[in-house]
Amino acid sequence: MVYPTILVFNYTFTPYMEERTYLQTWKKYLPVIRLHLKRSLTEDQSFKLNITDFESAGDRGKSGYTFSITIENGKATTSLAGSPVARDLYEALRSDDAIKAILQDKSVKIAVGKTFLLSIKTTHISAYK
C-alpha cells in the first residue's frame, strides 16, 4: 500500500508510516514461517526470532513483543488492535499466497513469548459442525 506524502512547513510526513512498524521485519521471516506452517500440519513447531530485528524496527517498552493470534480459515479470530507486532505479522501472512493457501480449512495459533520463541500449532477445521 502506498501512502500519500504531505509537505507541512518544510517537514515531510507520510501518514500511517509508523502504523506498520514491524511489517518489513515479518516479511523477512515469511520463508521460515511458511516452512514451519507446513511442518505444523503434522506436529507443533517453534523457532527463535532475533530480538534485534524487532527492537530496531520499534521499541515496545514495557508492553513488550509477546502476543498470540488465532487464525481460522485465513481470518484472525483474535483482536489485533492492541499489538502492532501481531497486526503486522497477520498482514504479512495475508500478503503471501502460499501461506494463505496453507491457512485455509485450518485453525492456526501463532504465539510469541518473552524469550522471542515463535510457536505455531495447527489443527484442521472439521467440515461437519
Is the pLDDT assigned to residue 103 strictly greater than 90? yes
**What are the structural domain ranges in the chain?**
19-124
- 54 or 123: whose pLDDT is higher? 123
Question: What share of residues in the chain are helix, strand, coil (percent, to 5)?
Answer: 35, 25, 35
Look up cell 515463535; give the residue. Answer: 118
- 125 or 67: whose pLDDT is higher? 67
Burial of 9-32, coded b for 16+ CB within 10 Å and e otherwise, reads: eeeeeeeeeeebbbbebbbebbee
CB 36 within 8 A of CB 105: no
Q: What Rg value do the Cα atoms of the chain yield, rounded?
A: 16
CB 66 within 8 A of CB 97: no
Is the pLDDT assigned to residue 6 strictly greater than 70? no
Q: What is the pLDDT of residues 7-49, one digit of tens each?
A: 444 444 444 444 678 899 999 999 999 999 999 999 999 999 9
Measured distance CA(35)–CA(39) in Å, rounded: 6
Is the pLDDT assigned to residue 62 strictly greater than 60? no
- 58 or 15: whose pLDDT is higher? 58
CB 68 within 8 A of CB 109: yes
In this predicted structure, what is the pLDDT of residue 8?
Answer: 43
Cell of 119: 510457536
Q: What is the pLDDT of residues 69-91, one digit of tens each?
A: 999 999 999 998 888 899 999 99
User: CA-CA distances (angstroms) from residue 71 to 67, 91, 117, 118?
Assistant: 13, 12, 18, 15
